[in-house]
Structure formats: structure tokens, C-alpha cells
Amino acid sequence: MAWDYERDVLIDVIRKAGEEALRLMVEGFETIQKPDHSPVTSADLAVNQILQSHLASVFPQDGWLSEESPDDLDRLQKRRVWVVDPIDGTKAFISGEPEFCISVALIERGQPVVAAIFNPSTDELFTASRGGGVDLNDKQVTPPGLWEDQLPVVALSPWELQIGRFASLEPYANSRAIRSIAWALALTASGRIHAAATFEPENEWDVAAGTLLIAEADGTISDGRGRGLTFNRPKPRYRGIIATSPHCPDALARQVKLLARPVSGEKE
């Protein structure tokens, strides 16, 4: 199948990067503040270095876009680009919560064709290639069933849950705070949760891998205005993300779809 080699290379290196993240979690790491006041750790940078050095050596013609690398706009001229979040959920990593993950996607002509999201704490590696479905630790994902007497679950950021931004969903779902949007998308693709929503700004590296997982699971994903996602753009940023699992109950899916509406007078 197309992209099998790229997928195999990615699986190997993302597991090595995950081992390093866990080692630093145990042995200690440094934390600094970025100019935007968000935290970055020495583990983020170490994971980024492992991924970049290995993928660049195997695929030297491909471009690179990562949260923890300077943005080289030469990527815009590349047919293929690796889009990487070395640790999505850095705050969860810092606090020792098992909800951080490494998120990597290969973009070809604006769309993801290979993706991996790895949670080192739980040893769960979700992978997908275009047309190949979704695997968890090299086995096809089998979504759990929904008990009839339980509400479905929607993932929200802790802050948006706190302020009640998505109160309209409360009659239809239980809300779960998840610090990593990439992990939320992996869980949505697998059917463990039924939707994910945020109106906070998200970057391509946050959602590129999750977008392919959702697509290969036959779910839905859009930005906060309901538009489809394209990648390797000059400004790699979206206003919000709205996603549903293919197993999302119809009542909740309708309510989630209503969230994704253009805001009157809002500029691009």
C-alpha cells in the first residue's frame, strides 16, 4: 500500500521519541516560558530533535513544520511536509498527567497521508495512512459500544469547560476536560469519546495527524467555522476545531454541527 514505508519509519522513530520523553519525565527536565507565555520543556526539544534528525535523514527532500522549530517557509514549495507537535499537552506532561502525546503527520499536496499519535504514558500508538483505516498498536481499531443508559462524551479544553462555552451540549453529552487536542482527536477517531470541540486557536501541528485519523475512521472534522482543513499554509493556524466520531449519536452530532457556524463580521 502507498506510504507503507513512511508509516513504518514514523512508527519506529515516534516510539524512540516517546521513550526519551518518558525518561526525561522520570529523571527530570527543564521548563522555560516562550514569548507567548506558554511553557516548553527540554523534553519537547529533545523529542523534536529525535524526530527531525531521523525523518530528515530518511526523507531529505521533504519539508518540515514543527511547533519547536523555526518556521522555514521553503516548506511552501515542497510537495511533502512533515507536520509535528513534539509534545501536545505540555502542561499535562509537566504535571505528570497521562494525556500528553506526540503528534506527527506527513502532508502531501495540502492533505495528511500518514499520521501517528503516540501517548507514551499509556503505550498507545494510533496510526493511519490514507485509505488504510486506523490502527492502535498495529491492530485495527475496534470502537467500544455505547451503553444505552449513558450519555456520550465530548472532549473540551479545561478552560472552555470551566467557563461553560459549550453549555448547549450539556443535555446531549457529558463533558471531559482534555489538555491535548491531538489526544482528544485520537480518542474521537477510536470511538472512545464521541466528539471534540474548541474555539481556541489551534495550529496545524496540533491537528494534522488527528485529522487523518478522524477521516480514516469516517468521522467529521472542520475548523470552528465549519470549513475543511488544509495544511502547509503560510499561516498554519485555525480558529477552533470541531470533530465527531463516526459513532457519535445523531442528537449530539446535530448539536455539534450547529457549533460550526461563521461569526458575523469576523475577519479571516
Same domain, 179 and 118: no
The answer on pLDDT for 268 being more than 60 is no
Q: What is the pLDDT of residues 101-123, one digit of tens each?
A: 999 999 999 999 999 999 999 99
Q: Please tell me the predicted confidence (pLDDT) of residue 150.
A: 80
Q: Please tell me the predicted confidence (pLDDT) of residue 263.
A: 52
The answer on pLDDT for 265 being more than 70 is no
Q: Calculate the alpha carbon distances from 252 to 61, 87, 200, 226, 244 in Å.
A: 43, 30, 21, 16, 9
Same domain, 119 and 212: no
The answer on pLDDT for 147 being more than 60 is no
The answer on pLDDT for 257 being more than 70 is yes
Q: What is the pLDDT of residues 88-104, one digit of tens each?
A: 999 999 999 999 999 99
Complete DSSP assignment for 200-254: EEEEHHHHHHHHHHHHHTT-EEEETTSPPP--S-SS-EEEEEEEE-TT--HHHHH
SS3 195: strand
- Indicate the DSSP class of residue 141: -
- Number of residues assigned to the chain: 268
| CATH of residue 255 | 3.40.190.80
Query: Does residue 56 fall inside a structural domain?
Result: yes
Mean of pLDDT over the chain: 93
Query: Does residue 201 fall inside a structural domain?
Result: yes
- Indicate the DSSP class of residue 29: -
This prediction's pTM:
0.95
Residue 145 pLDDT grade (very low, low, confident, very high; cuts 50, 70, 90)? low
| CATH of residue 69 | 3.30.540.10
Query: Does residue 135 fall inside a structural domain?
Result: yes
Q: What is the pLDDT of residues 200-227, one digit of tens each?
A: 999 999 999 999 999 999 999 999 999 9
The answer on pLDDT for 152 being more than 60 is yes
Q: What is the mean predicted confidence (pLDDT) over 64-73?
A: 96
- The count of structural domains within the chain is 2
Same domain, 126 and 248: no
Q: What is the mean predicted confidence (pLDDT) over 6-35?
A: 96
Q: Please tell me the predicted confidence (pLDDT) of residue 144.
A: 73
Q: What is the mean predicted confidence (pLDDT) over 245-263?
A: 87
Query: Does residue 264 fall inside a structural domain?
Result: no
Same domain, 122 and 181: no
Residue-range definition of the domain harbouring residue 205? 153-259
Q: What is the pLDDT of residues 125-144, one digit of tens each?
A: 999 999 999 999 999 998 77
Q: Please tell me the predicted confidence (pLDDT) of residue 142.
A: 82
Query: Does residue 221 fall inside a structural domain?
Result: yes
Same domain, 100 and 26: yes
C-alpha cell at 146: 455505547
